[in-house]
Structure 1
């Protein structure tokens, strides 16, 4: 067998390259301290190393989450503690205010001024932000200021009931916030009470303001509870002499509690044991109308021969009008007479509608819906009643709501306390009402403190959970690092011996090639 000179060089190059690669790899292992430098070195070990490194990364993220969560809960805890201290100060003032036999109206105004200052302080606490600028009591709406002053002693919560969570370990997630509604609003009241608010569709500019309200006759209100009330402003023509006026109705049934009462801005409104006031110039309704369009050239219509009914609706209430008598000789006045006769007249009045030769009118501004009838009715009215027709020109007057509730927010409790002291007079009757309000304030402050302290306890329990999770993560981290070391780290003793052997092989290859490369037939010629 002949071996060419080029083959000798190729074999030598391949052998020395492999030996050099082995030496280089061992040197890299010793330099990095790692046995597996690439998945090709040990596929099974490489997979295990990847999983262990991922577990270390998760544990590191859990550590960061715990730090963030602990900071958030510490901020919440310190804020709640300040709130508790503030409420305790308010409790002292309420006890002082209970001394009605000695204090005068002027004294109460001074106390009310201090309460107002504390209300502003409390509102700032309830709108606390964290280091990221997020409101901590806004639920999921961290960018939205949760508590705003609506005027008249009313406050509104704009956040939601969401609760933010962070993962503290593979199996533990911890709430890092509490909804302001849970902490400061949904507090059990010592008595049945109300929340007052203005409709979002009110049109007055500037907006009219409803006061926070007081329960001045608890027994009467308890007999009405849990119904709500609506205060709706009517057309000025509803009273004589014409002027602003309102009607108070039971929200669920529409039952009228107070009808067409003259309105004076800021004047006290008393209904079903509730006292409140509305300030400003509420807008009266724009009447809604459905005009008739009789065809004078059409043949007479005899409803006794073509009886029908039609459903007419206003503001969610409906009545069925009957058309089964009176021949119409294309006379709008005759048709209006049938509408204003029994039983239709009572039904229209129940809906707050009037009917004339020109059409239906809803003075309260609620749009009118008509559905049903027959071709004869359509011909008489000029309205497409069979397909259904709705007026669109009405606009309701401004309205305000009095909602029954068995809860009372902390800001509302202090606001009612302040308003009562501002309006007290140096009379036995007025002092008696204030004394009753002070007793309710003390009870509700106690409930508020209990609620906030309860949330504080939950915050402390979560911080304990975080601490336990921190310790658990440290143990997991130590175990994973030990496991990773056993799979990935290099045995330096074995590597040193292997490097010596590989170096010897490389040197031997180089020296033998040197001698072999000098062999040639030319040396024997």
Structure 2
């Protein structure tokens, strides 16, 4: 077969170009450390790598979300810890104020410190997360959840739903608790509570209610005790259930124990017609930490000179102590829940960390370069290129004119 000189030169040039291209490609792979730097290098591996990269990005987004969730929960836990300490101090002050040896001036001093605790707790209830969002307002996190009304009483104005955040593909976690659940609620296990109407004119006082029959179907429901004049110098009582129906009547005598719906309360003192007491489970008595402190402050600021005023003060302080106990138990329960969620974030982070390691290993297997194999291939390509160059030089020197 006759091969022209032009064809011979063209074939050698093409061979040199191929060898140089292959040599350049392996050099670029060694420089970048990547076996697959563009889809044409390995279409199947490049396609799988795209999917793994997307999975990594999603996992990273959830990791960032967990950082935000952890910050919110950690700040909530810190606020709840401070609130619990504040309630402990308030309980100590109420116990001091209950002593008969304190003067009205002393009780005014106690009231002043209680006011400071009250404002401190209000500030904690309106805490923000550092980004201007209120922690305990639910999804209404752009305004303080607690505000004072025209009468100076604190009202909750936040949302009733806990703010949630997606922390993993299959887990949406509450990252905050509403102020109503923290400061205006008690745990379901809270016991019985008795309250006296602030307008009572008599001096009836009561001890902590007792449970006598948990199996009573009406146990824990609110029951209202109303005193009336019996027309003979004494007093009667009548007990109404939550629906307003009369369930029990009788003659009142000082030191008696009233029992109704599996509940009992011991009474002392003399009522006045129209005086009332309310008995029931604490969960049914509209719990409110701020109202408890407001009532205690108000009764301590006013001097108690008459038996009725002293009875009102004693009843308010006793009830306040029970309500503070319930409020603190509730805050500790919420705090425990926050701690459990923080622990869960640690577990999810650990799982996600292992997942990210697996993704990195998979990506490395798909696109990273095997340097041992690449070094051998580099040497082989170098030899091939040198051989092609040598062959071209030798063929270039062959000419018919050399034989003439």
TM-score category (smaller protein): 0.7 to 0.9
Instruction: Select the structure of larger CA radius of gyration.
Output: 1
Match of 2:287 among 408, 414, 419: 408
Check conservation: 2:49, 2:366, Cα contact below 8 A. yes
Q: Give the structure 2 partner of residue 500 of structure 1.
A: 379
Check conservation: 1:174, 1:466, Cα contact below 8 A. no
Q: Please, which moves more after superposition, 415-424 or 176-185?
A: 415-424
CA distance in 1, matches of 2:348, 2:199: 49
Check conservation: 2:72, 2:129, Cα contact below 8 A. yes
Q: Give the structure 2 partner of residue 78 of structure 1.
A: 78
CA distance in 2, matches of 1:497, 1:172: 49
Please state how far the C-alpha of 1:169 moved relative to its aligned partner: 3.6
Alignment map for 1:91-170 (pairs within 5 Å): 91-99=91-99, 101-170=100-169
- Gap change, CA 1:98 and 1:469, over 3 Å in 2: same
Match of 1:481 among 346, 360, 363: 360
Check conservation: 2:193, 2:322, Cα contact below 8 A. no
Alignment map for 1:321-470 (pairs within 5 Å): 406-470=285-349
Please state how far the C-alpha of 1:225 moved relative to its aligned partner: 5.3
Check conservation: 1:162, 1:179, Cα contact below 8 A. yes
Structure in which a larger fraction of residues adopt helix: 2
* 1:29 partnered with 2:29: yes
3-state SS of 1:425 partner: coil
- Gap change, CA 1:27 and 1:193, over 3 Å in 2: farther
Q: Please, which moves more after superposition, 84-93 or 61-70?
A: 61-70
Please state how far the C-alpha of 1:175 moved relative to its aligned partner: 2.3
CA distance in 2, matches of 1:216, 1:516: 122
Please state how far the C-alpha of 1:129 moved relative to its aligned partner: 1.2
Alignment map for 1:52-91 (pairs within 5 Å): 52-91=52-91
3-state SS of 2:285 partner: strand
Deviations 1:269-290 (A, max 9, x none): xx9959xxxxxxxxxxxxxxxx
Deviations 1:194-222 (A, max 9, x none): 9xxxxxxxxxxxxxxxxxx9464962498
How many correspondences in the alignment?
335
Check conservation: 2:195, 2:315, Cα contact below 8 A. no
- Gap change, CA 1:3 and 1:193, over 3 Å in 2: farther
Alignment map for 1:261-300 (pairs within 5 Å): none
Check conservation: 2:195, 2:319, Cα contact below 8 A. no
- Gap change, CA 1:466 and 1:191, over 3 Å in 2: same
Unpaired runs of 5+ in structure 1? 195-212, 228-270, 275-404
Q: Give the structure 1 partner of residue 182 of structure 2.
A: 183
CA distance in 2, matches of 1:427, 1:410: 28
- Gap change, CA 1:7 and 1:226, over 3 Å in 2: farther
- Gap change, CA 1:193 and 1:150, over 3 Å in 2: farther
CA distance in 2, matches of 1:447, 1:523: 114
CA distance in 2, matches of 1:488, 1:93: 69
Check conservation: 2:292, 2:320, Cα contact below 8 A. yes
3-state SS of 1:466 partner: helix
Q: Give the structure 1 partner of residue 251 of structure 2.
A: none
3-state SS of 1:508 partner: helix
- Gap change, CA 1:451 and 1:216, over 3 Å in 2: farther
- Gap change, CA 1:31 and 1:490, over 3 Å in 2: same
Check conservation: 2:304, 2:313, Cα contact below 8 A. no
Please state how far the C-alpha of 1:414 moved relative to its aligned partner: 0.6
CA distance in 1, matches of 2:84, 2:243: 31
CA distance in 2, matches of 1:220, 1:512: 118
3-state SS of 2:140 partner: coil
- Gap change, CA 1:272 and 1:86, over 3 Å in 2: same
Please state how far the C-alpha of 1:182 moved relative to its aligned partner: 0.9
3-state SS of 1:120 partner: helix
3-state SS of 2:96 partner: helix
- Gap change, CA 1:460 and 1:520, over 3 Å in 2: same
CA distance in 1, matches of 2:109, 2:240: 36
CA distance in 2, matches of 1:129, 1:160: 15
CA distance in 1, matches of 2:364, 2:275: 78
Alignment map for 1:196-235 (pairs within 5 Å): 214=198, 216=200, 219-220=225-226, 223=240
Structure in which a larger fraction of residues adopt strand: 1
Please state how far the C-alpha of 1:192 moved relative to its aligned partner: 7.9
CA RMSD between the two structures: 3.2
Deviations 1:129-164 (A, max 9, x none): 122121111111222111111143411212112323
Q: Give the structure 2 partner of residue 47 of structure 1.
A: 47
